[in-house]
Amino acid sequence: MSAQPAVAPETDAASVPDQTPSAITRAATAAPVSPIDGGLRASAWMAALGIYAVGALGVLLSLALHHWRVRALAARATAVSDPAWTTLLAEASAELGVRRPVRLLCSRDVALPMTFGTRVPAIVVPAAAALWSEDRRRAVLLHEMAHVARYDCLTQTLALVACAAYWPPVKGPAAAGPGVSGKLSVLTRSDGSVQAAYDGHPLYTYVGDSAPGQANGNGLNLNGGRWHEVAASG
């Protein structure tokens, strides 16, 4: 007895559901979306957007304040014209291949050497530098000139902006919830605002977290390091 191929049983055409694209579209659009669920999702995204906007505004204000303070410091500083310094400055610039003009300033407002500016950079030395030996002057100028050669001021500014895009700061003070064993405190930022800190580490939120309990930024390697989010368990 030979085997027969299987044949699908006949069915009434009226009992077969309509599988045309238009019918599928109608079925998909027929089920209404709960306004409560949609409202909760919209509220979560609006809250996340608000946190991000506040953090980004804080960083921009901090950058603006820092820029104003540096300009004020430079206005109060004195240009160094002593050949003992300017000769070393030219040597350091030539050794590191810096072709931009670099200003050398002396200020009573700083205790340590510092560098600022990108297009027209400036090196600021404290007033006590007048007592330094030639070897120390050369070493300091080479160190500061290396920041100029690497465009460190520009890099740091871009890093702050990129950091703000992903990690807005948590405004302090913050209250500890159940399971948090570390010490919560506050830090004062350069713009005068107060930021929450956990065991001395400044706290930030992650823009990828749109609802309470999420920790999507935990372990991410972004903006120069690996980030760890504080969960409810601490």
Domains for the chain: give ranges and CATH numbers.
37-63+166-226 (no CATH), 77-159 (3.30.2010.10)
More confident residue, 188 or 17: 188
Q: Mean of the pLDDT values across residues 87-116?
A: 94
Does residue 103 carry a pLDDT above 60? yes
Whether 189 contacts 62, CB under 8 Å: yes
**How confident is the model at residue 26, as a pLDDT?**
43
Query: In angstroms, rounded to a whole number, what is the distance separating the alpha carbons of residues 220 and 218?
Result: 6
- For residue 13, the model assigns a pLDDT of 42
pLDDT in tens, 122-174: 999 999 999 999 999 999 999 999 999 999 888 887 877 777 777 778 888 87
* pLDDT at residue number 125: 96
The reported pLDDT for the residue numbered 222 is 64
pLDDT value at position 52? 64
Name the amino acid, one letter, at 141: L
Looking at residue 211, what is its pLDDT?
Answer: 76
**pLDDT, position 131:** 95
pLDDT digits (tens, 9 = 90+) for 2-43: 343 333 334 444 444 444 444 434 434 444 545 555 565 667
- What is the pLDDT at residue 23? 41
pTM of the model: 0.54
pLDDT digits (tens, 9 = 90+) for 190-232: 666 788 888 888 888 887 777 777 777 777 776 566 777 665 5
| pLDDT of 75 above 80 | yes
Residue 188 has pLDDT above 70, yes or no: yes
User: CA-to-CA distance for 14 and 234, rounded, in angstroms?
Assistant: 61
